[in-house]
């Protein structure tokens, strides 16, 4: 369903565009900058949501609606809304799927031909939101995937108290606080948090930059349940079949090989960081900038970012 609906949405979007916008939004699948991405402010290749008409914007955001879960879509809208607050832009409501990003620089790009039989991809990139979805032979690659928030909590104005990506922080602290002293000694790898996620926006994530921390095998059943909920905050942003496949991959590769590392403040209010890492799965969360009110979070698939494994199998069979 995700594959077919995504293809239909992309084809309909491209058909709705003028020749100029279609040329701007499109690129070959093997374009040299295929794996170039960032979550920092600035321009990207593609067409901004603001360049599209209201109906075209609906079609572009249909790509998100198909590939993301209901919560994932709400998270994406919340990230855009927080960015609008940061920039002082007029927006409707936090859940406005069409207006969110309309006046902002979120760039849509389609790589390859979604109406054909060869691999293709779409991406939506902007400040604190970077989604990359790749389709290969009926399968889907969903990473790298980045969600951030600035501010993480609105401190002033009519939206004061509004939090973005709150469960990523709250579940992280809940899990940390569930640990026994000996477990915490393994989990807390540094008293100072890094100033950003350690893998940054590298095209290929290098797990060797991480400190491994506490192994899953050291957890009791209640802690394992909390840990699973924390992992679910990341893979649960994907549409159901994608999230289920990711969880299956984690378990098949050995869930006991996952590790949890924490750095920085052990209570809310101070800069803090955590990572969850295994043979294939990697999640990082950092909240240190702007007096710990600025979140960066990423989900990487160490085997299949950019659908690398899927593409290898596809080309081997063709």
pLDDT over 70, % of the chain: 96
pLDDT value at residue 269: 96
103-116 pLDDT tens trace: 678 999 999 999 99
243-272 pLDDT tens trace: 999 999 999 999 999 999 999 999 999 999
Q: Give CA separation, 272 vs 128, 211, 265, 278, 299, in Å.
A: 18, 14, 5, 21, 18
Query: Average per-residue pLDDT in the chain?
Result: 94
pLDDT value at residue 92: 45
pLDDT value at residue 93: 56
pLDDT value at residue 280: 93
211-236 pLDDT tens trace: 889 999 999 999 999 999 999 999 99
Q: What does the alpha-carbon distance between residue 294 and residue 39 come to, in Å, rounded to a whole number?
A: 13
Mean pLDDT of 33-61: 95
The reported pTM is 0.95
Residue 146 scores a pLDDT above 80: yes
Q: Are strands 120-126 and 107-111 parallel, antiparallel or unpaired?
A: antiparallel
Three-class secondary structure assignment of the chain: CHHHHHHHHHHHHHHHCCHHHHHHHEECCCCCCCCCCCCCCCCCCCEEHHHCCHHHHHHHHHHHHHHECHHHHHHHHHHHHHHHHHHCCCCCCCCCCCCCCCCCCCEEEEECCCCCCCCEEEEEEECCEEEEEEEECCEEECCCEEEEECCCECCCCCCCCCECCHHHHHHHHHHHHCCCHHHHHHHEEECCCCCCCCCCCCCCCCHHHCCCCEEHHHCCHHHHHHHHHHHHHHHCCECHHHHHHHHHHHHHHHHHHCEEEEEECCCCCCCEEEEEECCCEEEEEEECHHHHCCEEEEEEECCCHHHHHHHHHHHHHC
Residue 87 scores a pLDDT above 90: no
Residue 101 scores a pLDDT above 70: no
Residue 84 scores a pLDDT above 80: yes
The whole-angstrom distance between residue 6's C-alpha and the CA centroid of its chain comes to 18
pLDDT band for position 91 (cuts 50, 70, 90): low
Domain residue ranges in the chain: 2-152, 166-308
Mean pLDDT of 13-20: 98
pLDDT value at residue 147: 98
Our CA dihedral for 59, 64, 67, 72, rounded to 10 degrees, sits at -150
Q: Supply 264's token pair.
A: 């920085």
Residues 122 and 109: beta-carbon distance below 8 Å: yes
Residue 202 scores a pLDDT above 90: yes
Q: What does the alpha-carbon distance between residue 227 and residue 210 come to, in Å, rounded to a whole number?
A: 18
Cis status, amide bond into 144, omega within 30 of 0: yes
pLDDT value at residue 267: 97
């Amino acid at each position: 369903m995700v594959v077919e609906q995504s293809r239909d949405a992309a084809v309909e979007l491209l058909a709705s565009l003028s020749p100029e916008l279609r040329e701007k939004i499109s690129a070959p699948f093997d374009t040299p900058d295929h794996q170039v991405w960032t979550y920092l402010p600035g321009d990207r290749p593609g067409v901004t949501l603001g360049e599209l008409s209201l109906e075209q914007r609906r079609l572009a955001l249909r790509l998100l609606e198909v590939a993301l879960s209901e919560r994932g879509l709400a998270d994406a809208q919340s990230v855009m809304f927080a960015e609008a607050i940061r920039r002082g832009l007029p927006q409707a409501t936090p859940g406005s799927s069409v207006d969110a990003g309309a006046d902002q620089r979120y760039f849509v790009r389609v790589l390859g031909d979604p109406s054909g039989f060869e691999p293709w991809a779409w991406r939506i990139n902007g400040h604190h939101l970077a989604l990359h979805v790749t389709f290969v032979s009926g399968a889907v690659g969903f990473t790298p995937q980045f969600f951030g928030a600035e501010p993480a909590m609105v401190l002033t104005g009519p939206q004061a108290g509004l939090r973005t990506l709150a469960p990523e922080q709250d579940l992280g602290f809940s899990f940390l606080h569930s640990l026994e002293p000996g477990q915490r000694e393994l989990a807390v790898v540094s008293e100072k948090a890094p100033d950003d996620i350690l893998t940054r926006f590298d095209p290929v994530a290098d797990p060797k930059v991480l400190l491994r921390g506490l192994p899953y095998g050291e957890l009791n059943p209640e802690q394992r349940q909390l840990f699973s909920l924390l992992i679910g905050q990341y893979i649960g942003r994907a549409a159901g079949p994608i999230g289920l496949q990711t969880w299956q991959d984690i378990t098949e590769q050995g869930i006991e090989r996952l590790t949890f590392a924490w750095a920085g403040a052990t209570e809310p209010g101070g800069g803090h960081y955590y990572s969850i890492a295994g043979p294939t799965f990697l999640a990082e969360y950092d909240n240190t900038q702007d007096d710990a009110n600025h979140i960066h979070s990423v989900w990487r698939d160490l085997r299949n970012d950019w659908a690398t494994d899927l593409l290898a199998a596809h080309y081997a069979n063709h």
